Amino acid sequence: MPANPAKRLRPFLPFAAMLLAGCATFHPLPLDNGRGVARIADLRVPAPNMPAPALPTHPFDAADGLDVTEVAMLAVANDPQLRVERDKAGVAHAQAYAAGLLPDPQLGYERDYPIIHQVGTTKAYTATLGLDLGNLVTRSARVKSARAGAREVDLNLLWSEWQAIAKARMLFDRVYYLRRLVARLEREQAALAPVQSAVTRALQSGDLTYATAATGLNAASDVATQLGAARRQLDLATHDLHDLLGLDFSVPLHLAGAPFTVEPGPEQVQRALSAMALRRPDLLALKAGYRSQNETLRAAILAQFPAISVGFVRAHDNSGIASAGFSVSLSLPLFNGNRGNIAIERAQRQQLHDEYSARLLTDRNDVQRLFADLEDDHAQRTALAAHARELAKARDAARTNYAAGTLDWPTYLAIRASSLGADTALLTLQRDSHETAVALDALVGAWPDADRTSPSAPAVAREPEAGTTTRRGRQP
């Protein structure tokens, strides 16, 4: 009587138990309440891990306010969208790990019982152990593709961090200049209040008609309208900065120092253009994605060859005869032959090839356009600042003459309106110029030669204020 086939499997039981012991287990991950950080002091910013050259050496200290570099560091450390990008990088590395794993062998067992018992019949069984060799044929290409894909995701994550830095600098710039604009309009509103009161009293007493008083009434109304619009823009910019930094909106933002700017020369821009493809993370990511697609295409070509599976068979039939042997199976690529997948992967490779060329061309042109805009803004800013200073002197003289009674109020209001228009135009130009500098720096990534970045906040012509102090910003 043959031995019980179940006894033949007993030596494999410890091995099966070891496999089960190495299995992953499930742990729940509850969702949080979605609230931002309530205190900046609770945040930890790992300065050595910052992606931009100037950030790792900059001390992070929120006690005396956040300068533009500290805001950029906080964005990299705490931006909720960057956390999602880092999670995607973890998925890509897990996929690269999975691509390198060898296929598991297949163990099969069949048990047959005779329906009609006759003399000499026994229970039959068949045990097989097989391995798919076709998976091994494409393994090398799949591993290279997955590793290049993980490299692509890492580079895209780095590029997202660079973009977070640029966005943080731009929002800092926007909040900075909107606060200055609001302060300038508030001063103008306060300066117009006595004139408006005088016009209103004269209108009520009958000394002025509505046609004559319209100039005074409209001046105050226009400033109030501009002030309301500026405050709404400031609230929106502050809200966007809170979102970027992962802070609850109730957390006050104490910003200090000047905005970020960069002032490269023409030769430096040309050197940056020639080396841009070697430094920009998104361009390097496109190269890595192209290499990944190359290996994916190679794997698809290798997969057109017949898939081979081999195995070992142990059997015992109903007549009591035991046998051992092997099995081989292979597919015949007569109709499919993986031709469709090869065509798809080849088309996708061509798409990535053209996408890289288009991105590089567009970015080169954008760098040159932004540099030209920066130079134009510089010349225009110089002229507008001089014009604003002259109008500020005229405004101060008009205020003195109006207080002395030697200047009529319509002329006084017209001079004030011209000075206010020049100041607000200069603030807008300064903000746009700094945003252009931020965009240019983000496109170039890292300037060759010396670091040409510096804080810049040209003063706007303004009336002197009693009891005011200024703080010198730290270098970003």
At 39-74, the pLDDT tens digits run 776 677 777 777 776 777 787 877 788 889 888 888
Q: Which domains does the chain have, with CATH numbers?
A: 68-101+133-303+338-455 (1.20.1600.10), 104-132+305-337 (2.20.200)
Residue 464, pLDDT > 50, answer: no
Q: What is the structure's pLDDT at 431? A: 93
The share of the chain scoring above pLDDT 70, in percent, equals 83
Residue 9, pLDDT > 50, answer: yes
Alpha helices in 206-333 (DSSP H): 210-245, 266-279, 281-302
Contact residues for 424 (Cβ-Cβ < 8 A; gap 6+): 181, 184, 185, 226
Tell me the β-bridge partners of 131. 310
| Residue 17 structure tokens | 């138990």
| Residue 115 structure tokens | 């329906």
Q: Residue 147, exposed/middle/buried by CB under 10 A (0-12, 13-18, 19+)?
A: buried
In angstroms, the CA 395 to CA 401 distance is: 10
| Residue 39 structure tokens | 């205190």
Nearest to 326 by CA among 102, 109, 127, 125: 127
Write the pLDDT tens digit of every residue in 431-447: 999 999 999 988 887 77
Write the pLDDT tens digit of every residue in 269-291: 998 888 888 888 899 999 999 99
471 close to 256: Cβ distance less than 8 angstroms:
yes
Determine the longest span between alpha carbons in the chain, in angstroms. 135
In angstroms, the CA 180 to CA 468 distance is: 14
Q: What is the structure's pLDDT at 424? A: 95
Residue 369 C-beta-side C-alpha neighbours within 13 Å? 8
* Residue predicted with more confidence, 34 or 201: 201
Q: How far is CA 9 from CA 6, 15, 22, 324, 325, in A?
A: 5, 11, 20, 16, 18
Q: What is the structure's pLDDT at 178? A: 95
Residue 4, pLDDT > 70, answer: no
Residue 189, pLDDT > 80, answer: yes
- Whole-model pTM? 0.75
388-396 average pLDDT score: 94
Q: How far is CA 95 from CA 27, 252, 319, in A?
A: 20, 42, 50
Residue 150, pLDDT > 50, answer: yes
315 close to 142: Cβ distance less than 8 angstroms:
no
Residue 454, pLDDT > 60, answer: no
Cβ neighbours of 391 (radius 10 Å): 21
Write the pLDDT tens digit of every residue in 111-149: 887 877 777 777 888 888 887 777 777 888 888 888 888
Q: What is the structure's pLDDT at 14? A: 61
Q: What is the structure's pLDDT at 473? A: 35
Tell me the β-bridge partners of 390. none
Residue 398, pLDDT > 80, answer: yes
142-167 average pLDDT score: 88
Residue 89, pLDDT > 90, answer: no
* Residue predicted with more confidence, 459 or 236: 236
Answer positive or negative: Cα dihedral of 373, 378, 383, 389. Answer: positive
Give the Cα-Cα-Cα angle 342, 344, 350 (nearest 5 degrees): 105
Q: What is the structure's pLDDT at 474? A: 34
Q: What is the structure's pLDDT at 457? A: 37
Nearest to 220 by CA among 248, 191, 253, 247: 191
Q: What is the structure's pLDDT at 175? A: 95
In angstroms, the CA 145 to CA 289 distance is: 9
